[in-house]
Structure 1
Amino acid sequence: MTGFFTALMFLTRVPIPRSRAEGAGDLAGAAPWLPVVGAFIGALVAAAVLAGALVDPWVGALLGLLVWVLVTGGLHIDGLGDVADGLGAAHGNPERFVTVARDPHLGSFGAIAIALQIAAKLVLLGVLARNASAETVIAGLMLAAAWARWGALALGRALPPLAEGLASRLALGIETRTVALEAAALAALTLYFAPLLLGALPLIVAFALYWRLRLGGVSGDCLGASIEVLESALLLLLLLA
């Protein structure tokens, strides 16, 4: 279970036992657990949405968004901001992209991307809380968060890292067999609970093509940005269902 606790420590701000924290740290070993931790995050968000919806759907949306940000520590949305700044300034140069994305200062492109992403999730969660059953909210959010993090595994396996960092460390633990087995398990669950969320597969392929053509590979920020955008896209598909 060391890999699970490493993934939990890396992807969330959930406190873990000291004994487990001391054994964690190998990011490569955490790779297979990313979708599981994603489902856990989705379950927490769903609980917040349903609790808040007892007062009003928009209260549920706000609570769900707050939990989403607090549990993840804003990790992926920070990556989205860095990627937006990098793409805005790199002009197709991968080295320039990495340099700009690693700059700790937030630029105008990053601020706009983060604001739009937060607004998108708030609206989508609000409509979901108003129109969907509790079962759909729970299953849909768990599957959306799990698929988004499985997508990070697939992208890390399919594309080379742009530089030494989180993406390169994570890639060491990604095996094709594991990615395929987890995709099959997620697809079976999705087919039963929310078939339209199988749209995650072509979306992830589209992301892989985009990063390949635009940069030639991925960084940790690219994976984080992909997770954020995939989550919003899958919430939209869930509403269409």
Structure 2
Amino acid sequence: MSFLAALRFLTSIPIPFRREEWDRPLTQQQFARSLVYYPLVGLILGGILCGLYWVFSNLLPLLLANAMIIGILAYLTGGLHLDGLIDTFDGLAGGHKSPERRLQIMKTPDVGAVGVTAGIVLLLLEFAALASVPQSHIYVAIVLMTVLSRWAMSYAVFNYPYAREIGMGKELKSGSNKWVLPVATVLAAIIVVVIAGWLGIVTMAGTWVLTIALSGFFKGKFGGLTGDTYGALNEISEFTILLIVILFSFNNWL
């Protein structure tokens, strides 16, 4: 049930053959334990995207295939993480304000120019990065991107305080036990090592460093992390992971 909770929360993928369980309300413990399965949800997303990329790349110009993959990823996740990125940058735009005011800005339904700009720039960067990955490593890059970015969210939820009194992130954090992150980390490590070997280990280490840096930055600005900052972390991690693969392939380190 916790796996279905992770799939339901992180994606818009329907599970028609488990409809009753899909619609059943979750306990706090089930919701919190779903953190374990974030890398597995990333693997499912990566598998879907790899299959679609194979089809698109054989029927369409590669540039268009890459653009469609970025768009489909946003669709499969319901735009959840991209929305978090936009709200986070809107909050950061109130740089002279207090953490409380920044949190208040993030909760408003209006979207600011800074947030929209950040969202557009991020999508352009992800598209450019995916288009820059050599075809020999494109499927590896896609899976690393989707798996490790979801693991990064598990790491941030487990290790950093939640900024608000209530919220889904609060439930995730307060209901988790000490085994949630170690199991999620082992699961992510197994996936990336099987998929990418030593490149998977290096990319996971880079993602870990980015997660610590970004989470610390968000904690300083907002007094903790929120669901929106988890989404921002996911989006920035996706781009950074692609960047690491490009760095190694461009310099013939692979």
With the length of structure 1 as denominator, give the TM-score of the two structures.
Answer: 0.90
| Residue 64 (1) aligns with residue 69 (2) | yes
1:164-204 CA-to-partner distances (Å, cap 9, x unmatched) read 11210111343332312332343344345134312111111
1:10-68 CA-to-partner distances (Å, cap 9, x unmatched) read 11111123212123534323222111111211222222223222232112102211210
| Residue 115 (1) aligns with residue 153 (2) | no
Q: CA deviation at 1:108?
A: 0.4
Match of 2:188 in 1: 186
Match of 1:148 in 2: 149
**Residues of 1 paired with 2:108 and 2:95: CA distance?**
13
Q: CA deviation at 1:85?
A: 0.4
Q: Show the 5 A alignment for 1:58-207.
A: 58-91=63-96, 93-128=98-133, 131-133=134-136, 136-163=137-164, 164-191=166-193, 193=196, 194-195=199-200, 196-198=202-204, 199-207=206-214
**Residues of 2 paired with 1:210 and 1:46: CA distance?**
33
Cα separation, partners in 2 of 1:124 and 1:49, compared to 1, 3 Å: farther
3-state DSSP of counterpart to 1:172: helix
3-state DSSP of counterpart to 1:149: helix
Amino acid at match of 1:98: L
| Residue 6 (1) aligns with residue 8 (2) | no
Between 1:6-15 and 1:167-176, the stretch displaced more is 167-176
Q: Is the 8 A contact 2:53 2:66 kept in 1?
A: yes
Q: Is the 8 A contact 1:156 1:174 kept in 2?
A: no
Cα separation, partners in 2 of 1:7 and 1:213, compared to 1, 3 Å: same
| Residue 45 (1) aligns with residue 58 (2) | no
Q: Is the 8 A contact 2:33 2:180 kept in 1?
A: no
Match of 1:230 in 2: 237
Match of 1:19 in 2: 20
Matched positions, count: 236
Give 4+ residue runs of structure 1 displaced > 4 Å after superposition: none
Match of 2:251 in 1: none
Q: Mark the runs of 5 or more structure 2 residues left unpaired by the alignment.
A: 249-254
Cα separation, partners in 2 of 1:203 and 1:105, compared to 1, 3 Å: same
Q: Is the 8 A contact 2:37 2:184 kept in 1?
A: no
Task: Give RMSD over aligned pairs.
Answer: 1.8
Amino acid at match of 2:44: F
Q: Mark the runs of 5 or more structure 1 residues left unpaired by the alignment.
A: none
3-state DSSP of counterpart to 1:15: coil
Q: Show the 5 A alignment for 1:208-223.
A: 208-223=215-230
Percent sequence identity is 25
Q: Is the 8 A contact 2:154 2:181 kept in 1?
A: yes
Q: Is the 8 A contact 2:152 2:211 kept in 1?
A: yes
With the length of structure 2 as denominator, give the TM-score of the two structures.
Answer: 0.86
